[in-house]
Chains A and B, each alone.
Chain A
Amino acid sequence: MRSLAATVDGVSVCLPAPATVLDACRAAGAAVVALCDHPSLRPAPSCNTCQVIVNGMLIRACAEPLRPGAAINTVGSAAVSARRQSLAKVSLGHPVACSTCHQSGGCELQAGLAASAPVVVEKNTVTRRSLATHSKTLGPTIALHKELCVGCTRCTRFVAEVLHRPILSLHASHGRIANLQIDEAADFNVPYALALTELCPVGVFEHKEDRTGTIPLWSQRSAPSVCAGCATGCPVWLHGNGQGVKRVSSRGGAHYLCNDGYQFFDERGLLRLAVPFTANAVASWDRALAAAAALLAPAMNAGSLAVVFSAQSPTLDLAALSAFAVERAAVAHVYSNLHPDGDATPPLMSTNKNPNAASLIALAPKSRPITSLVDDIGQGKVTAVLCVGVESVTPETHPALFEALGGLTALVVASSFEDALTRQAMVSLPLATVEETTGSFVNGEGVAQSFAPLHSPAGDALAGWDLMNHLSRLLGIEIGFASLNDARVWLKRHHPALCPTQGGA
């Protein structure tokens, strides 16, 4: 791949080709706002807010391909005043209502105006316009705030290019493109409709489930993460205030998500398992782990222990389980739980609903489907089962399995949520979720992507590798996963392909 070197206000940057001048400006951290440009859409320069000087010429950065050795000037007075004029033009008639607007703090126009202040709107006849109190609704999840529109055309291009349903259009009025027309009969309950909420730079489309609005800006936190909804593994940002995920937004990749992605981290109507239970009574970690070990040890020694891997677990959890069951204890019965295939909607959503199936296959190569556990229990080959991170196995989906599980001498379940499986278990151990731990997933294309915690684990929950380290020690096996670093070292030595290329595991 060819790389392009350029300087932005004296700062040198190097980008892979092809790139635009705007990419170079962004890479250098220059305060250039581009309202109409969006990385996932074809350029349609209309807002002119990204003008910079290249080789003495004033150009629109979003539409100009970057040439090697270009000297870009973003702070020249010509560029600054041109950008100010364009910003003034697009913000003409935009409500002067930042203090009550839902988009405040995440608004690209707001950031641009503040960065290039003062942007004086001379002809502003609307001196004090507030937001409409009653917003229209599009579909079940989108609230529409038409008065915010600045005519950047991102939404119309998105519906045409990605949704292929021209249900939105823009019309010029009074010399300004900001008259958003909506096809009243159109159905907005379609996949990717929620992407409009992230695409719009000024918040014309509001995601009704966005709960960051109630969090003061100064206590908001964000963490880089990965969507665990399907095998595509879209990189996402999680936003919250330390108590759950309040909003999801895309992080690179396609620069938008599918509807399920935006809603993946919503409260799923599940109860969190926050403390260890033994026989449905709250126990301390020490007691619960001792009880689990006491239950599993006889079966392990007798060779009738079964371990269930889950394709929803992060790689390090699977690695710890693999180090215990496959490498050290050589457990004969290894099973895996995979979600069944579901709908796929291009361009992002995949049929494979397991975020980490690739790791599972690499770390537990001889595993069999969880359904075959029924026969093995029935034949008496398996008397004790350890499940880690197994989700969505319910009596409705697996009636035979639940019947069989009743005949076990020991069932130990580590899970993030309380479900039928944990209620059936003799010992249930709380597991931290994706938004609570550091870890990684390997997506359908075999790319390992790491995620970071947004907040600390709920209650006493532990990461899977940590839990397995304690449990295996009590079972007389040292897997050596004492710290995150140790776990990474193990993975790097045994399965380098599963390690994320940069950053941690």
Chain B
Amino acid sequence: MELEVHTTRLDALVSWARQHSLDQYPFLSACCGVEFMATVGHGSSRFGFALPKASPRQSDLLVVVGTITERQAPALRRVYEQMGDPKWVIAFGACACSGGLYQNYAVLPGADQVIPVDVYVPGCPPRPEQFLAALKQLRLQIENQARGRPPAIPSLSANPQTLVRIRPSKSTKPNKAGAKGGGK
């Protein structure tokens, strides 16, 4: 049997391993939770994300899904504190990002008021594809962290792959590329 040898830096190896074995703990609270469940159907396991873990102690990615009220904030903080290091947080949905529609006495204006957030996913609620985009974004950040780069967020225009088509338009207007390709 042939033996293959690969060499790399240890931190790169660790980062690679972390990127591909994120165990998520979803903190479901509201509408977004219903939509978040649908991400299961979009095959997130192919990116190395297994089914949600039932305990924060076994997971390293906290997904804050839905509105966090002032009353829930201590519970969210506690869940975060129970997770082992290193840990990452995705805020899923407008409410988790900023309070969304609810700018009032009851609602926390964003989960980042009580825990640090790495990736924000806007939308009310976001589509499942956006969660996958967020996961890819998070992996990029983990990799950048390992290489000592700042976890900069690349602009969407610079990286068209991160754009998710929201809705296939019914009346497709021929765009430039389509006109070229479509004209025989």
- Chain A–chain B contact at Cβ < 8 A: no
Question: Which chain A residues have a beta carbon within 8 Å of chain B's beta carbons?
Answer: none
